[in-house]
Amino acid sequence: MANSLIGKTIKAIKTPTFLTALSSYPARQFSSVATVEQPQAEGPSSSFTFSSDGDNGKNSDSIYLKAPDSNQRHDTSSSSVTMPMSFMTGSIVGKRFYKQVTAREADDGNGWSVMLDYRTLKTPSKRPLKLPTPALAKAIAAEWEYQQTDGIRPFTMPLMKLACTAMERVPLTRPKIIEHLMKKFNQDLVFCRAPDDNDLTSNVHDHQVEKIDPLLHWLDSEFGFKPVVYSSFFGGKQQDGLVQAMENLLKKTDDCELAAIDALAASAHSLVIAVGIFRGKLQIEEAIKLIRLEEDLQVDKWGLVEGGHDLDIADLRVQISSAAVFLGLSRRI
């Protein structure tokens, strides 16, 4: 069942009409960095880099090319292509410079690598991208394989972005990531209730009780502390025991797990929903329904705004599905 779910999700993410809709939608904070380098035995190397900075640190919509100087043409120096942050809004960047994509065990036997022809895919710091499982390596290889001949579309490679995050950002900023997640825990989406004494919000409250309370009961049984619900815009205060239990869970995660939880929590506005997916309590569709509960009720009542609600839904599906799939594929069986 897990393989079937992963297959369907990856297929859905790569549906052309689905991506076309997203290409015109303002991207969330989404950065992906990848480099590929040719082995020295093949002569001068070439690299392909995604970056949030333009030339000399200035943001720009231009693509900057840097070639090796004449004194370096016979050594291992590389040319580079640097992409600005604006490429994430749907732009096609560069051109596909490889023909074949493969996944194989790393040369040192530590992890799995993705190969673009004879080039090894690398991290932002130019270390070989070593993935924990062959399944994740094959999925990322599929993202590169599906790129079109006219150019690279980075926004169609969410697994690559998460892998770079797990390998580069998480090890360096783990305490800050956990601190940021816990800082917003008391204002978690699932703890907030619409007032039940108002005709405009009573229907929302009833649906929250029906759909979200089972998740809160699970949270109580899982960690031994009953969550506090509130209807204030300023949030509430959860029991210290529940806060500590959640923080301890985050501290025990590996880098891939924390990267996935962080991505899920950011998209869901809920650490509880992220942990529910992490622990297997929630499936992707269940999580999306909880996240969109209030908005879907408004859509049912007033109608869907094309070019607004539909793109929000598509974007959320990509963010939640890709993080959940990444989480599953990164786990060693």
**Do 34-154 and 167-330 share a fold?**
no
| Cβ contacts of 47 within 8 Å, gap of 6 or more | 35, 36, 37, 78, 79, 80, 81, 122, 126
Q: What is the pLDDT of residue 303?
A: 85
Task: Using a pLDDT cut of 90, give the percent of the chain over it.
Answer: 51
For residues 144 and 141, give the distance between their C-alpha atoms in angstroms, rounded to a whole number.
5
pLDDT tens, 45-58?
A: 333 444 434 344 44
Give the count of alpha carbons within 13 A of 263, CB side only.
Answer: 33
> How many residues are given for the chain?
333
Q: What is the pLDDT of residue 284?
A: 97
The per-residue b/e assignment along 94-117, b for 16 or more CB within 10 angstroms, e otherwise, is: beeebeebebeeeeeeebbbbbbe
Determine which of 13-22, 97-106, 152-161 has the lowest per-residue pLDDT on average: 13-22
Q: Residue 101 pairs with which residues in a beta bridge?
A: 116
For residues 238 and 137, give the distance between their C-alpha atoms in angstroms, rounded to a whole number.
40
For residues 195 and 232, give the distance between their C-alpha atoms in angstroms, rounded to a whole number.
9
Instruction: Report phi then psi at 152, rounded to 5.
Output: -90, 135
pLDDT tens, 168-195?
A: 999 999 999 999 999 999 999 999 998 8
For residues 43 and 74, give the distance between their C-alpha atoms in angstroms, rounded to a whole number.
7
Helix (H) or strand (E) holding 319: helix 309-330
pTM (two decimals): 0.75
Residue with tokens 């995050």: 165
Q: Tell me what the mean pLDDT of segment 50-71 comes to.
A: 40
pLDDT tens, 313-325?
A: 999 999 999 999 9
Amino acid of residue 110: N
Q: Residue 33 has what DSSP assignment?
A: -
For residues 45 and 22, give the distance between their C-alpha atoms in angstroms, rounded to a whole number.
34
Token readout for 289 is 């329904």
CA 189 from centroid of its chain's CA atoms: 19
Residue boundaries of the structural domains of the chain: 34-154, 167-330
CATH architecture observed for domain 34-154: 2-Layer Sandwich (3.30)
Q: Residue 37 pairs with which residues in a beta bridge?
A: 120
CATH class of 167-330: mainly alpha
Instruction: Report phi then psi at 81, rounded to 5.
Output: -125, 120
Residue with tokens 């790569």: 14
Q: Tell me what the mean pLDDT of segment 199-207 comes to.
A: 84
Cα torsion angle, 84, 88, 90, 92, sign? positive
> In 3-state terms, the chain is what percent helix, strand and coil (to 5)?
55, 10, 35
pLDDT tier for residue 29 given thresholds of 50, 70 and 90:
very low
